[in-house]
Amino acid sequence: MSERIFESLKELLTQQGARFRVVAHESAGTSAEVAKIRGTQLGQGAKALVCTIKGFKDGQISFSQNLNLASADDAQNLDASALASAQGCENGACAGNLALTADQICANVPQQLKLPSDKPAGRNGRIYVLAVFAADHKTDLKRLAEGLGGTKASLVSPDEVGDLTDCVIGSVPPFSFHDKLLLIADPSLFGRFEEIAFNAGLLDHSIILNAQDYARIAAPHIVSFTEEATEGE
């Protein structure tokens, strides 16, 4: 667990004028359990997976769905069906390239809050991604890779999670503090609830954050890589 990330999150959100509150609670084993403890809906939970994606050339990512939610209004009104029209794309697909640079990955994070950056970016045609989605959805890693123009996505090891986030699995917040960790969000996270909730670097502390403020501060790139989970999944 990471007290450092917890304190960095609070500092970043305070500096950016975010509407948020901290909830202390017992550790929980599942998203449903922690939502009940927090007093939130399951779909408000923001889950974060650290992945590696292979199959890129020259560190270039091609977004098939690419929308940077810098506007608070976009976050409040966004839903999955609105993605294509918001991007000016036909059938949810459009062309675009992003050079993988530190400035673009965590531009809103002050330098003093960033983690040490010693992981390779784009080496051997792979990148590291923090994939964020609503807790009432399930992921499709193949769609995640294809949505970024890669060929294969896989979860990284617990040690790599620690290197890239300074957190243990289950406590990773939906923010990147690392120059080599690209932040991606699924549309399921937006348009349904006014607030999102997530573990804040600690298994026994959560932050409940206004969704507009999350979109404005974190500025994730939007890639659709989930579907709604059925009961029991």
What confidence tens digit (pLDDT) does each residue in 30-85 have? Answer: 999 999 999 999 999 999 999 998 886 655 555 444 333 333 344 445 443 333 33
Q: Determine the pLDDT at residue 110.
A: 56
Residue whose tokens read 């959100």? 13
Question: Looking at per-residue confidence, does 62 or 7 come out higher?
Answer: 7
**Percent of the chain at pLDDT exceeding 90:** 52
**Confidence grade of residue 150 (pLDDT, cut at 50, 70, 90):** confident
Verdict on whether the full-model pTM lies above 0.85: no
Q: Determine the pLDDT at residue 59.
A: 52
Task: Please state the CATH superfamily assignment of the domain spanning residues 3-228 in this structure.
Answer: YbaK/aminoacyl-tRNA synthetase-associated domain (3.90.960.10)
Residue of 99, 108, 113, 115 whose CA lies nearest to 50: 115
pLDDT value at 218 more than 60:
yes
β partners of residue 199: 206
Q: Determine the pLDDT at residue 177.
A: 86
β partners of residue 60: 57, 99
**Confidence grade of residue 130 (pLDDT, cut at 50, 70, 90):** very high
Residue of 148, 154, 166, 161 whose CA lies nearest to 202: 166
